[in-house]
Amino acid sequence: MLLEVGDLRRPGACHSGRGNEKEFTGRDSRLEIELRGDLFVFTEVLVEGQATNVGGKIYVKGSIEAKVNLECSRCLTTFTVPIGASFEEIYYAAGSVEEGDPDDTGRIYGGEQIDLRDAIIESLVLVLPMKPVCHPDCQGLCPSCGCNLNTEHCGCGPQAPDPRLAGLGEYLKQLKD
Ligand SMILES: [Zn+2]
Ligand SMILES: [Zn+2]
């Protein structure tokens, strides 16, 4: 998503003393992020915000709305949820700051456009749930047979032995004998 800032940087339009300002709206139909080996797909990404020229730097503030495909941490089905995030960034024109300046917490842009992609992606990553659940009442997968307990009834029952502990059961039996 590219933000045109050429108009913000032109001198002369500044009467308020706060620098030139403009509102912007941007859309992205699809953004993909790979994170810890998982692929997250964001769709219907809408970004609205304000860009302000403050003494050569461009201050950008925005809010993001999107939909994201998540995998339920209990039943492993994929589901789509709306997600929202916000960001604030300072962008410096390339060449206007010393490389490695300790005070520089902003980003660099070249030309008359700022690419907001990195800021958008980093903000979205921060609001991704660590353990997404398709539904608060999701029953998850049966620990014995692996079927999806939301849609299937396997009859294993709640006392079904965990297959990972089957070996231990055998061992305890042997001890008794
Ligand atoms: Zn689920
Ligand atoms: Zn089962």
**Residue 111 predicted with pLDDT over 90:** no
Q: What percent of the chain has pLDDT over 70?
A: 81
The pLDDT score that the predictor gives to residue 80 is 96
Q: Residue 135 CA: which ligand is closest?
A: 1
The domain locations on the chain are 2-127, 139-177
Instruction: Please provide the distance, in angstroms rounded to a whole number, between the alpha carbons at the two ends of the chain.
Output: 70
Please tell me the distance between residue 84's alpha carbon and the centre of ligand 1 in angstroms.
21
Cα 133 from chain centroid (whole Å):
16
Please tell me the distance between residue 151's alpha carbon and the centre of ligand 2 in angstroms.
12
**Residue 14 predicted with pLDDT over 70:** no
Residue 165 or residue 3, greater confidence: 3
pTM of the model: 0.76
CB 75 within 8 A of CB 149: yes
Lowest-confidence region among 22-36, 51-65, 84-98: 84-98
The pLDDT score that the predictor gives to residue 26 is 95
- Smallest CA-to-CA distance from 5 within 28, 19, 16, 64 is with 19
Please tell me the distance between residue 141's alpha carbon and the centre of ligand 1 in angstroms.
8
Q: What average pLDDT score do residues 11-26 get?
A: 71
Please tell me the distance between residue 162's alpha carbon and the centre of ligand 2 in angstroms.
10
Q: What average pLDDT score do residues 97-119 get?
A: 79
Q: What percent of the chain has pLDDT over 90?
A: 59
When pLDDT is cut at 50, 70 and 90, the band that residue 35 belongs to is confident
